[in-house]
């Protein structure tokens, strides 16, 4: 029987073939939602989307873009904000 905590859809099922030829099911946590822009709500590109335990092992440049507002605003909103600050 399957353990009770694995019956819900919290964990995703991955069908794996073992070296012995058996097919088994591995249970893994689901990925979190995509990060979104703070102003317009668009999906942020170049920002890591993984479990926090895996993100903590990534380098700083893999986690987010290095431009101003990187990881918080999309490129369009960043461009608008920088232009309004200059004027």
Segment 58-81, tens digit of pLDDT: 999 999 999 999 999 999 999 999
The stretch 9-16 carries a mean pLDDT of 93
Name the DSSP letter for residue 42: P
What pLDDT is attached to residue 83? 94
* 11, pLDDT greater than 80: yes
What pLDDT is attached to residue 86? 86
What pLDDT is attached to residue 1? 82
Instruction: Work out the mean pLDDT of the chain and round it to a whole number.
Output: 92
* 57, pLDDT greater than 90: yes
What pLDDT is attached to residue 87? 76
Q: What is the pTM of this model?
A: 0.69
- Name beta bridge partners: 27: 13
Strands 23-29 and 11-17 come out as antiparallel
Phi, psi of 69 (to 5 degrees): 60, 20
């Amino acid at each position: 029987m399957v353990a009770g905590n694995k019956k819900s859809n919290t964990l995703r099922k991955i069908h794996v073939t073992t070296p012995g030829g058996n097919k088994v099911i591995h249970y893994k946590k689901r990925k979190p939602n995509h990060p979104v822009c703070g102003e317009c709500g668009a999906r942020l590109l170049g920002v890591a989307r993984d479990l926090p335990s895996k993100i903590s092992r990534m380098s700083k440049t893999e986690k987010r873009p290095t431009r101003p507002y990187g990881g918080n605003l999309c490129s369009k909103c960043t461009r608008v904000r920088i232009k309004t600050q200059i004027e």
